[in-house]
Structure 1
Amino acid sequence: MREWHADYLDACNRHDLDAIRSFLSPSVRRAHLPSGSDAWIDDLAELFTAFPDWRWRRVQLIAEEDRLAVHLRAGGTHAAAFRGIAPTRRHVNVAEFAMYRVMDRRIAEYSGTGDHIELLAQLHGGLPT
């Protein structure tokens, strides 16, 4: 599972949406977010357009059977509109926490802090980077 996640994170850091899709179940469920791999890819495409240098770094990973718990640091420079906010050129740095259920080497379920609340607060100048 650790190697699998390293490969997934590498695809994410390369912004390779086709490779990322290969890690997703077509019907992946996301807590509080639209389900399905198309919605996941659309969200990442929006993020990568707004933050062309966006990268994740794994801090900690815990694997148990088909479950992963991952603590990540992520960040990038706001270079294009994101969620209605014009480019600020601010560099943001956020903590992310993700829980995955992986079936047949594909993410079947996700829950975590991928709602961008901390990121949006930094773009509005509410939190330090």
Structure 2
Amino acid sequence: MQAWETREWFADFLDTLNRHDLDDLRGMLDPAVRRAHLPAGADAWIDDYADLLHGFPDWQWKRIQVLVEDDRLAVHLRAGGTHTGPFAHLAPTRTRVSIASFAMYRLERGRIVEASGTDDAAQIRAFLR
């Protein structure tokens, strides 16, 4: 993909995340996607995102910056939502959470094959304690 196509792909990816469309999200992930320090595979990614949405049904992502080089994206995002459902074994607190996320993605054939970054459950749980 050209850099502009990758940027458009990422805009579609964020839209998919913000619509909470797990079926479309699966189509953007390689079935064996590798995630740094997290279980690999699209099923694990979908399960983790579903858990986040269960705890934060209003969760939304906002793009701050996207850099594209060849098959890689470096992204800075803001994300947030209100903790109204169980999340990571924590009962709802009604706390509004807002996090910064920095991530690196590698794409092949329009799917994420590798991901690493800071948008993890530990960062979110820190707000809830």
Where on the TM-score scale, by shorter chain, does this alignment land: which range? over 0.9
Identity percentage of aligned residues: 60
Matched residue, 1:119: 124
Q: Does 1:57 align with 2:66?
A: no
Q: Partner amino acid for 2:94?
A: R
Partner Cα separation in structure 2 for residue 92 and residue 66 of structure 1: 31
TM-superposed CA distance for 1:116, in Å, is 2.3
How many residues are matched? Answer: 124
RMSD (Å), alpha carbons: 0.6
Amino acid at match of 1:56: W
The equivalent position to 2:34 in structure 1, one of 7, 15, 29, is 29
Residue-by-residue CA offset, 1:54-100 (whole Å, 9 max, x unaligned): 00000000000000000000000001111111100011000001100
8 Å Cα contact 2:88/2:121 also seen in 1:
no
Higher percent of residues as helix: 2
Letter in 1 for 2:15: D
What does residue 77 of structure 1 align with?
Answer: 82
Q: Secondary structure at the match of 2:20?
A: coil
The yes-or-no answer on 1:45 pairing with 2:50 is: yes
Q: Distance in 2 between matches of 1:115 and 1:48?
A: 13
Residue of structure 1 in register with 2:113 after alignment: 108
Q: TM-score, normalised by structure 2?
A: 0.94
Q: How does 1:1-40 map to 2 (within 5 A)?
A: 1-40=6-45
* Matches of 2:57 and 2:121, distance apart in 1: 16
Q: What's the counterpart of residue 93 of structure 1?
A: 98
TM-score using structure 1 length: 0.94
Gaps of 5+ in 2: 1-5
- Structure 2 distance, partners of 1:40, 1:83, is 15
